[in-house]
Structure 1
Amino acid sequence: MKSFLFIYFLTIMSSMAIAQFEPNYDETKVPEFSVPDPLTSYSGTKIENEKAWSKVRRPELLAFFENEVYGKVPGNLDDISFKLIEENTNAFNGTAHRKQVQVTLEKDKKSLSFTILMYLPKTTEKVPLFLGLNFYGNHTTTSDENVIVTSAWSMNNEDFGIDNNTPTEKSRGVRINRWDITNIIASGMGLATIYYGELDPDKNDFSDGLHQLFYEPGQEKPKADEWGSIAAWAFGLSRAMDYLVQDSAVGKVIVFGHSRLGKAALWAGAMDDRFAAVISNDSGCGGAALSKRRFGETVGRINESFPHWFCDNFNAYNNNEEALPIDQHQLLALMAPRPLYVASAQEDEWADPKGEFLSAHYATAVYRLFGKTGIDTIEMPEVNTPIQNTVAYHIRTGKHDVTDYDWKQYIKWVKKVME
């Protein structure tokens, strides 16, 4: 009984701490901090060329993010297999080729499957393809009644047809607004999407999803330096890439993500250089935004609210961002020299648009080593005025979301940088 009361007390106190959090939205209250130099190694060595970046600096930065922020994957799969479970060459009003591919991962006689929904323009040539995770099920991204309804656990939302944590037929098409499939297809590009809950349910419970495939006997949660949910979602994106690289219709793949799934897209892009380009849409804290600014959502707030997203080691920096030897611009730099797009929304102060912009700016130093153009100015662009270099950025009007405006910019940019 005492144990129960103690746990209950801690839960109440934690909830109160979250409820009482007051984010800073005042630039004059941003603490003074030094931006860690992406081109100076931990030993103090100046990185002056591509080779030194690739052999010295990049590996040590990647190792820090892997061990202290997102967590490492504890082992390798035993097997991965693919099964085409549905196909239509005359989909989307006759404009597209639809595929639904089941990916099955196996480890220690356990397995997990997820489904890739793909739309490709009708052509015999390989096409660039956007790959991104979705929040409520593949069937929510389109009104196409042939898309299979996802059956995995999902966040309850009556408006989205999620009942008892299970997506239903009512949820078909409720997220069309975030996936501009019509214009993606019309542009000659493709789209592939996966429901992120099939990879790892977004809850503070590691008993299901990808993690349980890798547990040692008796293990119930990841170790302190092992993967949280963001790393699991990123791992799933790479396993989808395992399929896409052998699909004869698919050319270069651009990994895309919004909000927490933008964090996953960035980590996938850092870990897997098969992704030809990376897009972060409103990814905020733990994504593109600089942590040391402590503007909007902070490291402590995100770890308190979503303790399953990052590895436990990241808790050492709760309300202690000044102790971080890195910051998120160095995560962005791990994409170099591949094209990178960071996008923000004017009303999305929680995600710190200025911190996202500055992160792209400070990552540019690494892109210069490769002769690539990024964000040279430290002054943010005007709203709805994109900067579209190898490192690209825009801030648009509106709130935390993915809009047709965003997709218009991404399509234009991909056509430019993929030439």
Structure 2
Amino acid sequence: MQLSKEEQSVERSIPQLLVSLDGNEIDSAGEWMERRRPELLELFAEHVYGRQPVSRPQWMIFAVAAQEPCFNGRAVRKKIDIHFVGDGEGESGGQGRIRLTLYVPADTGEAEKKRWPAFLLLDHGRLSAVREGESPSTPFWPVEQIIDSGYGTAMIAAEDIDPDEHDGFRNGVHGLFDPNDRPRDGDAWGTISAWAWGLSRAMDYLETDPDVDSARVAVIGHSRGGKTALWAGALDERFAMVVSNESGCTGAAISRGKAGERVHQINTAFPHWFADNYKRYNEREEELPVDQHMLLAMIAPRLLYVSSAAEDEWADPASEYLSLQLAEPAYRLHGLGGLAAAPFPELDTPLHAERCGYHIRAGRHDLNEVDWTYVLAFAEGRL
């Protein structure tokens, strides 16, 4: 791929993926997993997304609120409530609930019960807007298309984890788990990290569901959900595949030299999404000790898919694709090829490597059936 002079300058300023903090070269998959990857997780937690103060709560139960056939018997719909209790220091009574809706293909009648791979999607308000008895299947979440392709699919409500508003981190799981007797630290978790925490709690449930193959669960998100899916996938290695759809700034796109939305703009518009430390890098992206290709690289050697839309200049498809290319060395350590040598593709011509994929489609910022068609095609035979 021929880079312009400006792109070459950006690439030279990007932190080196395979050089540890003490300056040593990382040249094996073992060193990557045991040394460099943990370093990068720490750097992203400290400087970008913030640290989750708790993993799985000590008290958490799963309540199946409903289970019924749907789509003329082709699938089964389950509604699950994930109940949990905070540490008692929060302001909201110490209890939380995350709603999860799961669809799985109907029983095939085979002697041995089939467990299905599944896609877990983070929802921002669309599920809540569906009236009781209505199908939530939409271009954003085409449940029937996913089921007919041989996958289950689940969605959780982001507002149950943390409402997308800046109230001083008193609502949602921040109110349950943050200590309220002192100011927040600069690396305290923001809302993106809180949503990622919720995706891991959904994964906790999926590990228990007899219809789901928990070793083959993909986490997928669009826009802010795509940022969340990437951070969740970096933190939680139980996710076998991570899909970022048009996640842009502080998602899949390289921050240095990025067009469209920049770090200072996202921190100004959404001051609650990231750690306060991240604001140090407003208009100073070149001083970040990390860049987003390192986030993508932390998915290696698992499946990774990045998608863009041609009219989504705010996300900057070229920077999203460059990030995926620059993540390839982590995959090569595992003996896997990537897309570093492939030029930026034409519209609606997906690129597939062994564990990485990418497409840019015609149209605007959204997640639709075209995106799902390309993602499902990549997952076929891999997930």
Give the TM-score normalised by structure 2: 0.91
For 1:135, the equivalent position in structure 2 comes to 124
Task: Quote the residue 1:253 is aligned against.
Answer: 217
Q: Give the CA deviation at 1:146.
A: 3.0
Aligned AA for 2:24?
Answer: T
CA shift for structure 1 position 28: 8.5
Secondary structure in structure 1 of the residue aligned to 2:256? helix
Q: 1:353 pairs with 304, 317, 320, which one?
A: 317
Say whether residues 1:177 and 2:139 are aligned partners: yes
Change (3 A) 1:368 1:188: same
- 1:291 is paired with a residue whose SS is coil
Change in 2 beyond 3 A, CA 1:29/1:35: closer
Residues of 1 paired with 2:139 and 2:380: CA distance? 22
Unaligned runs of 5+ in 1: 1-26, 148-171
Deviation for aligned residue 1:29: 7.4
Q: 1:340-363 CA distances to partner (integer Å, 9 max, x unpaired)?
A: 000000000100100000000000
Q: Do the aligned partners of 1:383 and 1:395 also contact (CA within 8 Å) in 2?
A: yes
Aligned counterpart, 2:91: none
SS at match of 1:213: helix
Q: Quick one: which of 1, 5, 9 aligns to 1:32?
A: 9
What per-residue deviation string (whole Å, max 9, x for no partner) do you get for residues 330-389 of structure 1?
Answer: 000000000000000000010010000000000011101111221122520111110122
Structure 1 residue aligned with 2:200, among 217, 234, 238?
238
Question: Displacement of 1:415 after TM fit?
Answer: 1.2
Q: How does 1:226-375 map to 2 (within 5 A)?
A: 226-251=188-213, 252-375=216-339
Q: Does 1:146 align with 2:109?
A: no
Q: Where does residue 190 of structure 1 map in the other structure? A: 152
1:416 CA displacement: 2.7
Equivalent in the alignment of 2:97? 113
Aligned to 1:43: 22
Alignment-mate amino acid for residue 32 of structure 1: S
Give the deviation of 1:105 after TM superposition: 1.6
What SS class does the counterpart of residue 360 from structure 1 fall into?
helix
Comparing 334-343 and 71-80, the one that deviates more: 71-80
Quick check: 1:344–1:395 contact (8 Å CA) kept in 2? yes
CA contact (8 A) 2:258 2:319 kept: no
d(CA) in 2 for partners of 1:403, 1:127: 23
Q: Pick one of 166, 176, 183 that aligns with 1:204.
A: 166
Q: Contact conserved, 2:267 with 2:282, CA < 8 A, in 1?
A: yes
Please say if residues 222 and 228 of structure 1, whose CA atoms lie closer than 8 Å, have aligned partners that are also in contact.
no
Q: CA deviation at 1:94?
A: 1.9
Measured in 2, the distance between the counterparts of 1:35 and 1:320 equals 13
d(CA) in 2 for partners of 1:294, 1:408: 28
Please list every run of 5 or more consecutive structure 2 residues that lacks an aligned counterpart in the other structure: 89-93, 108-112
SS at match of 2:139: helix
Specify which structure has the higher proportion of helix: 1
| Alignment match, 1:96 | 75
Q: Name the residue aligned to 2:61.
A: 81
Residue 215, structure 1, aligned to residue 215, structure 2:
no
Letter in 2 for 1:275: F
The alignment's C-alpha RMSD in Å is: 1.8
1:139, CA displacement in angstroms?
A: 4.6
Structure 1 residues 360 and 30: CA distance shift in structure 2, 3 A: closer
**Is the 8 Å Cα contact of residues 128 and 157 (structure 2) preserved in structure 1?**
no
The letter for the 1-side match of 2:366 is: D
Q: Which residue is equivalent to 2:372?
A: 407
Quick one: structure 1 residues 280 and 207, their matched pair in 2 at CA, closer, same or farther if it must change by over 3 Å?
same
| TM-score, scaled relative to structure 1 | 0.83
Deviates more, 1:266-275 or 1:50-59: 50-59
Note if 1:63 corresponds to 2:49.
no
Deviation at 1:30, TM superposition (A): 7.1
The number of residues matched between the two structures is: 363
Provide the identity percentage. Answer: 43
